Chain A
Amino acid sequence: MKKVFAVTLGILTAIGGFIDVGDFVASSQAGARFGMSLAWVLVLGVLGICVYSEMAGRVTAISNLAVFDLIRERLGPRVALVNLVAAFLVTLITLGAELGGVALALELASGVYYLLWVPVAGFVLWIALWRLKFETLERVFGLAGLTLVVFLVALPHLHPQWSSLWQQASQPVPSGSENWNTYGYFAVSLFASAMTPYEVFFFSSGGVEEKWGPDELPVMRANVFVGFPLGGLLSLGIMATAAALFQPLDAQVNSVGQAALPVAVGLGRVGLIVVILGIFAATFGAALENGLSAGYTVAQYFGWQWGKRVAPRAAARFHFVVLLAIVIGVLVLFTTIDPVQLTEFMLVFNAVILPLTYLPILVVANDREYLGDHVNGWFTNLLATIFLVILVIVSIAAIPLMIVTGMGG
């Protein structure tokens, strides 16, 4: 019974923790502009994150080492440094975007300008990372993020034309006045939102924090193969509500307030309260994960003591990097860059570094020195190789598509 409870709790946490500001923005924008015709990208992205998260989780459970530890050990310090710099910079941008999402959720709740909330959000984030236990951080915000299921509840209340949504989903082509370039740009953004690199760093480092061993493999797989796809369903719900409300009006989504509007229209004030809570929980939870991921990557590369399980005094450098990342995230937002625009940048740069993150995981997951009999089977390698090719294509296409379309136009 206790095991069933642990598995269920893990799955629910994985569902709620799946969504972050990138998923929220990319799914809303894609739904408003292309209806459900980009839904296949989300499905593909979720499948990809499942394949690689399972590998990262398995590597951690068997070797008791996190991804960055292994990257440095297996690929050497020079290659790992390139990886570290890219991953750290993108994690900083992502942290800034998530903090912006938290501030925008607070603005929707209070009416107070979001920039005034940014330092408050940064301070509370630091306190939470300093004081709270790892399990508490993960569970509370993961479970609260589940409230985003309100998008799926709101969808029938918007009276969409179901046949039209299905037709869009089954015809993956640009609709109306849109062209293939913008279609490609949003496909890249959506794919990157589903396969965000920090999720893997956090997932594998979290495995070390929670002391996973071979016995935890079934629970880890349940989280990945049940929790992540159901989390992806929430993204599809966000996309579908935007498609139902905005696409028939030819209106685009360029703010978080707009993205929450379908729930208010469909469910009224109760729905609005729930969706604002959901946005806050999802973005704050993701900010926590990014703050920790920034510390994890640097500390693991340099071989410092790291983690929430270690007393802050013993992992002072790890906690300093976490604090530094939060300060930089706050300063990025103080440049007055629009948080939604920052999120769009974040998705593009995430797309660029995707192969750098996932290739080493594939390499290590095939290394018998670390994994013994738990190395990848042929089917996993086939899937992983197909996804690696997709990751490389997405990585190469991201910047040119951003330039050609003027960030989606």
Chain B
Amino acid sequence: MRWRVVLVVVLVLVAAGWVGLAVATGGGTDPLAFRQAVAKTAQGGLTAVRTAHLAGQAQLDGRMFDTTLSPILDNAVEGVATAQQELAGTPAPGAPELAIRDQLSRLLDDAARTVGTLVAAVDRNDGAAARSAVAALGPLGDRLDDFARGHQP
């Protein structure tokens, strides 16, 4: 008899915990959670852009092999794509947050385009295009860095 009571109590507690979790996570993103998600996303984009910049510059300086550059740039492309995906899955709780999200979204779009241009230039062995993409990645990284610093939770 006693084990049945214990079983019922355990089941009720599990069900209550489950409902509590559903309520806590189902009411949209609160401003703090939004800021945390945005900071993490911006950091992911920043890391990818800085890495692509460093690796691309090393390649232009003759310090890198194509075989090594390729996986590093692939990781950078993936890093930006992941950041974009995470941002898309982060609903903005209000109008101010929506503006922040749009701002970061534009930066990440720029990052995806510029890193993609670098990858294409390296694939084509187009030195001029690679140089131009690497030159653009520096300031873009600075803008992402400013954003990340300005939106710490």
Interface residues of A (CB under 8 A from B): 104, 107-111, 113-114, 177, 245-246, 249-255, 257-258, 260-261, 264-265, 267-269, 272, 276, 409
Please name all residues of chain A whose beta carbon is closer than 8 Å to the beta carbon of B50 when the two chains form the complex: 246, 249-251
> Which residues of B in the span 36-51 have a Cβ within 8 Å of any Cβ on A?
39-40, 43, 46-47, 50-51
Q: Which 10 A-B pairs have the closest CB atoms?
A: A111-B67, A251-B50, A257-B72, A268-B63, A255-B75, A252-B47, A111-B70, A251-B47, A249-B50, A108-B68
B51 contacts A269, C-beta separation under 8 Å: no
Instruction: List 23 interface pairs A-B (beta carbons < 8 Å), by A numbering.
Output: A109-B67, A111-B66, A111-B67, A111-B68, A111-B70, A111-B71, A177-B148, A249-B50, A249-B54, A249-B141, A249-B145, A250-B148, A250-B149, A251-B50, A251-B51, A255-B75, A258-B51, A261-B72, A264-B68, A265-B54, A267-B63, A269-B62, A272-B64
Please name all residues of chain A whose beta carbon is closer than 8 Å to the beta carbon of B43 when the two chains form the complex: 250, 252
A-B contact count (CB 8 A): 82
B65 at the interface (CB under 8 A from A): yes
* Cα–Cα, bound, A34→B75 (Å): 22
A245 contacts B62, C-beta separation under 8 Å: no
A272 contacts B63, C-beta separation under 8 Å: yes
Please name all residues of chain A whose beta carbon is closer than 8 Å to the beta carbon of B92 when the two chains form the complex: none
B63 contacts A269, C-beta separation under 8 Å: yes
* Cα–Cα, bound, A107→B141 (Å): 27
Closest B residue by C-beta to A107 = B71
A255 contacts B63, C-beta separation under 8 Å: no
CB distance from B140 to the nearest CB of A (A): 12
CB distance from A177 to the nearest CB of B (A): 5
A245 contacts B67, C-beta separation under 8 Å: no
- Taking residues whose C-beta sits less than 8 angstroms from the other chain, chain B's interface range is 20 to 34
Please name all residues of chain A whose beta carbon is closer than 8 Å to the beta carbon of B71 when the two chains form the complex: 104, 107-108, 111, 113-114, 255, 257
B68 contacts A245, C-beta separation under 8 Å: no
Closest A residue by C-beta to B54 = A261
CB distance from A191 to the nearest CB of B (A): 24
A264 contacts B58, C-beta separation under 8 Å: yes
Known: A252-B47, A272-B68. A258 touches B75 (CB 8 A): yes
Please name all residues of chain B whose beta carbon is closer than 8 Å to the beta carbon of A245 when the two chains form the complex: 54
Closest A residue by C-beta to B63 = A268
A261 contacts B58, C-beta separation under 8 Å: yes
Please name all residues of chain A whose beta carbon is closer than 8 Å to the beta carbon of B54 when the two chains form the complex: 245, 249, 251, 261, 265
Please name all residues of chain A whose beta carbon is closer than 8 Å to the beta carbon of B61 when the two chains form the complex: 268
CB distance from A184 to the nearest CB of B (A): 18
* Cα–Cα, bound, A409→B44 (Å): 10
Please name all residues of chain A whose beta carbon is closer than 8 Å to the beta carbon of B62 when the two chains form the complex: 268-269
